[in-house]
């Protein structure tokens, strides 16, 4: 089994357990938006039975990679059926940042594994049920935590627009100097507009991201005389020893960081 990215890979591992041999292409703290494929990636695909992608344009390099690998099997789009967000004419790919979408991802993963390996169906169904219950529970907890924070305080600035699904689901207004991808840098005009906005709305909650250079967010913090609230895990998991080594740990970490800063 091949997964393009680490967050999706963790979901697959939770359902597939010991019955699958998983290779993840973009590893911990990696940025899938600007990923450069390696020869070993094509090799992993050519030996795969099932390939999972996030889709929604997140892996701009996947079609080229599939072609060069000669892979002819199924490509499962984990976001199939999610309630898509469109920002300025672009589809936002960061659908995993809403746990109700996460439940759609794991349902798609479960169905694909059942089809690829029906003899282990009982295990996949059991793993799915247990994992889904954890997602439901964390979704409810998250909703409850943010409800206690006044709406006008729930405004956050991050390096790029990776949290708009999170914002839509849990009632937080996320803003950033760039759009839904890390491929472009903001213009001086865009930066100035955001700084004006931050001063006018008294926005004090700024977060760095694990996949992005923190320089821009530090510069924004200096401009409005605020400090960085911490690091959010946006597009990739952390390494094992860090606080976001699984999808649920990542969610838990991000929620705790946001609640602690927004409650001040």
Among the listed ranges 16-24, 81-89, 162-170, 189-197, the one in contact with Zn ion (CB under 5 A) is 162-170
CB of 155 to Zn ion, least distance (A): 20
| Residue 41 interacting with Zn ion (CB under 5 A) | no
Stretch that binds Zn ion, among 103-111, 170-178, 188-196, 227-235 (CB under 5 A): 227-235
Minimum gap (Å) between residue 241 Cβ and Zn ion: 23
Sole residue written with tokens 């970490």: 253
Identity of the residue, 48 or 208, whose beta carbon is nearer to Zn ion in the bound complex:
208
For residues 106 and 162, which CB has a smaller minimum distance to Zn ion in the complex?
162
Instruction: Work out whether 203 is an interface residue with Zn ion (CB under 5 A).
Output: no
* Cα(262)–Cα(65) distance, integer angstroms: 42
Residue found by looking up tokens 């206690």 in the block: 148
Nearer to Zn ion, 98 or 235 (CB): 235
Partner residues linked to 85 by β-bridges? 92
Take residue 74 and report the two structure tokens written for it: 């199924």
CA–CA dist 13, 141 (Å, integer): 24
What DSSP letter does each residue of 85-133 carry, written as one string?
EEETTEEE--GGGSHHHHHHHHHHHHHHHHHH-GGGHHHHHHHHHHHHH
Asked if 235 interacts with Zn ion (CB under 5 A), we say: yes
User: Does residue number 209 form part of the binding site for Zn ion (CB under 5 A)?
Assistant: no
Interface with Zn ion (CB under 5 A): 162, 235
């Amino acid at each position: 089994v091949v997964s393009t990215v680490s967050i999706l890979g963790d979901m697959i591992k939770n359902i597939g357990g010991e019955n699958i041999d998983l290779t993840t292409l973009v590893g911990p703290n990696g940025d899938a938006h600007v990923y450069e494929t390696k020869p070993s990636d094509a090799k992993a695909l050519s030996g795969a039975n099932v390939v999972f992608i996030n889709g929604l344009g997140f892996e701009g390099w996947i079609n080229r990679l599939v072609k060069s690998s000669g892979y002819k099997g199924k490509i499962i789009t984990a976001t199939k059926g999610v309630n898509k967000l469109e920002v300025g004419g672009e589809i936002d790919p960061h659908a995993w940042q809403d746990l109700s979408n996460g439940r759609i991802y794991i349902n798609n993963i479960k169905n694909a594994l059942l089809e690829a390996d029906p003899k282990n169906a009982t295990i996949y169904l059991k793993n799915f049920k247990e994992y889904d219950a954890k997602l439901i529970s964390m979704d409810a907890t998250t909703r409850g935590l943010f409800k206690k924070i006044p709406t006008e305080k729930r405004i956050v600035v991050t390096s790029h627009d990776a949290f708009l699904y999170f914002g839509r689901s849990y009632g937080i207004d996320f803003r950033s100097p760039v759009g839904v991808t890390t491929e472009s840098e903001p213009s001086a005009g865009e930066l100035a507009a955001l700084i004006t906005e931050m001063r006018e709305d008294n926005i004090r909650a700024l977060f760095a991201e694990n996949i992005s250079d923190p320089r821009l967010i530090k510069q924004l913090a200096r401009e409005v005389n605020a400090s960085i609230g911490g690091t959010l895990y946006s597009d990739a998991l952390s390494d094992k020893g860090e606080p976001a080594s699984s999808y649920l740990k990542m969610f838990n970490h991000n929620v705790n960081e946001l609640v602690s800063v927004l409650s001040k």
